[in-house]
Amino acid sequence: MAAGGSAEPHKRINSIQLMFLLHTVPVGVGILGLVRFVADRSGHDASLAILFSGLYPQIGILFSWLLLKRFDSFGVYDVHRKLFGRLIGSLLSILFAGYCLFASVMTLRTFVELVNTWLFPMTPVWVLTILFLMPILYASYAGLQLLGRYATAAFFLTIWILFLNYFPISDGTFSHLLPLGSTGLSSILQGSMLSALSLLGTELLLVFYPYVVYKKDVLPAASIASWSVVLLYTLTSVATLMFFSQEQLKKTIWPLLTMFKHVQIPFIERFETIIIAVWLLQIVNTCSTYLWAGMEGVEKVFRFRPKYLYLVFFAAALYLSTQITGRIEINFYLNILSKTGMAIMVVFPAFLWLLAVIFRKKGGAAP
């Protein structure tokens, strides 16, 4: 069935663009330090924990699809109003939009911290924030169709980094992975929960759905995107665990970048700087897509002109970035984002679907 026939042309995307959006948005800054956090709980079984964590977004995707299939051309903001009425529905939409905007700001702030640490330690946070905000605002303001095309390009421009895992694997120690499963099911489950921050992004299917051209392709496209991210993380975790001992991993904040420092290319002295520069493509993609999803909700509730909303966001993001200082404070807010995002990704669509079934709510044209 054709999607979004009533949607504005610059918001329509096909299933391929949806797949690349849902694949590239989660691959923000989370992958750069993912294995260290998971290994704190799961030890050498971190790869199993990350593989198991793929079930969480898949459950969220399934319930999101079941929910939105009942409402045809509705997105989550329209579903809120249909299920809860104008007042409560608008409040829920504001909260969902606020979550998306917060995710955009925290992804940006984390990357600024990384650039400060590895490349430009003397450059003020506000300078880097302004520089990175410009492409983020431009891409988001251009609309979902451009974001879908950008996500596709970002995937092919960064996929080569995956093959760099060959170097740590070839120099690594396979026995670091053994014996498999010895840390116990409880530790593996705890580690899988810690992977949540790096898997956030599939919840944006709730916003994308009404703009997808062929609805029948949504479930397979979203599922392929989600599991491809999980397999990417699993392969990276295997390389990391083989390269580092458990004690070394505990002392390493950005294990992926530390691994790539050991990549030897005759005409490049610090290869990890190339990785950070290229990774900006992914950061712009993640931040701008979350920003677009948040602005979509704010526009639907308040009916403000988009250009004014983006100016407000620019000022707010710049202020928050300068107020959040140090790794400890950043981790505190990322922890909040992780727990909130996990609930929105898995529990929230299941809750909305259950209400829709109980009260026999279905939709037609979006209000």
225-240 per-position pLDDT tens digit: 999 999 999 999 999 9
- Residues in the chain predicted with pLDDT less than 50, given as ranges, are 1-5, 366-367
Distance CA 280, CA 273 (A): 11
- Contact between 50 and 241 (Cβ < 8 Å): no
The domains of the chain, with CATH numbers, are 9-354 (1.20.1740.10)
At residue 158, what is the residue type? T
60 and 261 in contact (C-beta within 8 Å)? no
Query: What does the pLDDT read at residue 113?
Result: 95
Q: What is the pLDDT of residues 42-60, one digit of tens each?
A: 999 999 999 999 999 999 9
Report DSSP letters for 172-212, one per residue.
Answer: S-GGGG-STTTT-HHHHHHHHHHTHHHHTTGGGHHHHGGGB
- ∠ CA 146-147-149, rounded to 5°: 65
pTM of the full predicted structure? 0.94
Q: What is the pLDDT of residue 364?
A: 57
The Cβ of residue 216 has, within 10 Å, a number of other Cβ atoms equal to: 12
